[in-house]
């Protein structure tokens, strides 16, 4: 498959991103049992790759073209203003309604004495950094923002579905 994501290969690209995401979820369960830094590294890189593909897919729909870079922050910044606003709004809504995020905030506050930074821009930047660093086999740092992957993934998929004109019933089946 080409590394350029276009309307022609969008479905295949989204399947690959979902596969990376599902694989990372499996590794996350295993990493929780073993506390293996190598497994954590693989999980973070797989999720970062999934986010890159979701963003490049969103770009293909939003801008009707292919994005050639790999930096998630730059891909997001290249999106149209309405799409950037919608993705941020969706993320904020998913994060606000997430019991996991609420528990994460409370635990972080308890341990660190300050609230966790899980705002969209911060989380996007952390994932972008993780992908860049992951290519060079870094020792993954324990960044709280990595816990907001699910909300980020949902927000990107929501906007992709919006742009594709997917109905509510089709969203549930997907």
Dump the DSSP string for the chain. --SS--GGGHHHHHHHHHHHHHHHHHHHHHHHHH--HHHHHHHHHHHHHHHHHHHHHHHHHHHSS------HHHHHHHS-HHHHHHHHHHHHHHHHT-HHHHHHHHHHHHHHSS-----HHHHHHHHHHHHHHHTTT------GGGGGHHHHHHHHHHHHHHHHT--HHHHHH-
pLDDT the model gives residue 115? 79
pLDDT tens for the chain, 174 residues long, are: 457 898 889 999 999 999 999 999 998 888 778 777 788 888 888 998 999 999 999 999 999 999 988 889 999 999 999 999 999 999 999 999 999 888 888 888 888 888 788 889 998 988 888 777 665 554 445 565 667 788 889 999 999 999 998 654 454 444
pLDDT the model gives residue 1? 40
């Amino acid at each position: 498959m080409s590394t350029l994501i276009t309307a022609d290969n969008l479905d295949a690209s989204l399947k690959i991103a979902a596969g990376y995401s599902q694989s990372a979820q499996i590794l996350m369960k295993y990493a929780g049992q073993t506390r293996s830094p190598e497994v954590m590294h693989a999980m973070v890189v797989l999720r970062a790759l999934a986010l890159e593909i979701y963003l490049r897919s969103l770009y293909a729909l939003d801008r009707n073209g292919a994005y050639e870079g790999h930096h998630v922050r730059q891909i997001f910044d290249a999106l149209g203003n309405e799409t950037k606003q919608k993705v941020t709004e969706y993320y904020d809504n998913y994060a606000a309604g997430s019991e996991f995020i609420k528990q994460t905030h409370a635990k972080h506050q308890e341990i660190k004495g300050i609230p966790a930074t899980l705002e969209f821009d911060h989380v996007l930047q952390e994932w972008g950094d993780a992908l860049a660093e992951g290519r060079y086999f870094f020792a993954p740092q324990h960044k709280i923002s990595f816990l907001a992957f699910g909300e980020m993934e949902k927000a990107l998929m929501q906007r992709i579905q919006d742009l594709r004109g997917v109905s509510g019933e089709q969203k549930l089946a997907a």
